[in-house]
Amino acid sequence: MTTGDDDQDVEGVEIIGGEPRFMAALAEDDSDERSLTDLVEQPAKVMRIGTMIKQLLEEVRAAPLDEASRNRLRDIHATSIRELEDGLAPELREELDRLTLPFSEDAAPSDAELRIAQAQLVGWLEGLFHGIQTALFAQQMAARAQLEQMRQGALPPAWANRATATASTCRPCPRVRTSRRAMRGWSFPSSTPNRVP
């Protein structure tokens, strides 16, 4: 049985008789959503650059390159990383900096060096997109579980009415919609089929 001391204030709304475990779950979900949207600050830009890098890797694999082409790809690789960092949260920028090593300025990189660098970057991006996709799925499952709790009367009537009204009008934010659309073309290990040209 709850008392006045158990009343909770969530974002300026006082909930009387709220179930503490459920309120904690709501706060945790809100925190997850904020971290997800902050993870990739410019998802459309990151997806464009990622798709370009993936295509460049295919070109490097397809045929040997002359010295001018290798120098050009080295410059594109460095520029791509700088542009990617503009669209990422600080934590991801630091991780990308630690993982990517600059090419030597003295000589053009070999075909093998370019393939390794491009494959590493593509793999990192696919891991990032897979993580976002997994987080979105987890959020959807959590929302369904909360809705099911509301339907079964696990929430106080006043909170259930408020939450149901919110759920009926809630739409994914533009950033999440962009991420979902953009990720449709990427392949993830044993989760999504390869992209069809």
For residue 38, the model assigns a pLDDT of: 63
CB atoms within 10 A of CB 172: 13
For residue 156, the model assigns a pLDDT of: 58
CB atoms within 10 A of CB 32: 14
Q: What is the pLDDT of residues 4-18, one digit of tens each?
A: 444 444 445 444 444
The reply to whether 46 falls in a domain is yes
The reply to whether 19 falls in a domain is no
User: Which residues of the chain fall below pLDDT 50?
Assistant: 1-11, 13-27, 29-34, 36, 188-197
Domain of 175?
28-183
The reply to whether 119 falls in a domain is yes
Q: Write the burial class of residue 84 (CB in 10 Å: 0-12 exposed, 13-18 middle, 19+ buried).
A: buried
For residue 173, the model assigns a pLDDT of: 55
The reply to whether 58 falls in a domain is yes
The reply to whether 124 falls in a domain is yes
For residue 7, the model assigns a pLDDT of: 46
What pTM does this model have?
A: 0.57
The reply to whether 192 falls in a domain is no
The reply to whether 50 falls in a domain is yes
For residue 79, the model assigns a pLDDT of: 92
For residue 123, the model assigns a pLDDT of: 92
The total of structural domains in the chain comes to 1
For residue 187, the model assigns a pLDDT of: 56
Which phi and psi (to 5°) does residue 66 adopt? -80, 180
Q: Which helix (H) or strand (E) holds 78?
A: helix 67-86
Q: Write the burial class of residue 129 (CB in 10 Å: 0-12 exposed, 13-18 middle, 19+ buried).
A: buried
For residue 107, the model assigns a pLDDT of: 83
